[in-house]
Chain A
Amino acid sequence: AQTVTQSQPEMSVQEAETVTLSCTYDTSESDYYLFWYKQPPSRQMILVIRQEAYKQQNATENRFSVNFQKAAKSFSLKISDSQLGDAAMYFCALTPHTSGTYKYIFGTGTRLKVLA
């Protein structure tokens, strides 16, 4: 069975500071994708960043970067220079890299509060 675990139900960060959200996963697949999604209050969930497991280089998207540790099955999200608009639920997700696969496994989410 594949699982995704987010052990931090809630995190807070001061505006302009850096915060790291944790995610661990378990899978028997040799190749897979990992994602971080953001769900702002009462708004649609959007993709923040994606990592292909066979790529060793950590993905970055502007102020968002990941620390992907394949052996440890860890996939944390770092948000630099936090902004008020970063306040949201953040979900970590996993899917096998298999043609015709549509199975996505999500964690329970971390609620991020940004303090002015």
Chain B
Amino acid sequence: ETGVTQTPRHLVMGMTNKKSLKCEQHLGHNAMYWYKQSAKKPLELMFVYSLEERVENNSVPSRFSPECPNSSHLFLHLHTLQPEDSALYLCASSQGGGGRNEQFFGPGTRLTVL
């Protein structure tokens, strides 16, 4: 595996389900990101972890819970979601922040909440 991988690629869940999205980066980076991509809206930065410590948390509802057990893995735990949470969830990684370091994105998980 190379780059940034995400599983599953597609997920359909009911509002009462609990599921998790997984992201893994094989680039040796020290920062990982979760974004939400909805049609006709800007990409929304949800969470950022640097060296396994959360450094950004952009007013995301508590039904989304991130976890970063090490610098290569990032999870997004989902519970009691709403239909408006249906979107493409992108994971990204970078070596440091500050803009000079390129972000590498995964293919995304297409989430549908029924």
Contact = CB atoms under 8 A, between A and B. Distances in A.
Interface string A39-66: 0001111110010100000000000000
Contact of B99 (A42, A43, A96): A96
Contacts of A42: 107
Q: Which range contains the number of B residues in contact with the other chain?
A: 20 to 34
B103 A47 contact: yes
B42 A108 contact: yes
Among all A-B residue pairs, the 4 with the closest Cβ atoms: A33-B99, A106-B43, A102-B97, A45-B105
Interface of B: 3-4, 31, 33, 40-43, 45, 48, 50, 55-56, 90, 94, 97-100, 102-103, 105-108
Contacts, number: 65
Contacts of A103: 45, 48, 56
Most buried by B among A46, A52, A95, A104: A104
Interface of A: 4, 9, 32-33, 37, 42-47, 50, 52, 91, 93, 95-108
Given A43-B107, A44-B105, A108-B42, 15 more contacts: A37-B105, A44-B3, A45-B105, A95-B99, A97-B98, A99-B98, A100-B97, A100-B98, A101-B99, A102-B48, A102-B56, A104-B103, A106-B42, A108-B40, A108-B41
A59 B55 CA distance: 30
Contacts of B100: 33, 52, 97
5 contacts: A32-B99, A33-B99, A99-B98, A102-B56, A103-B45
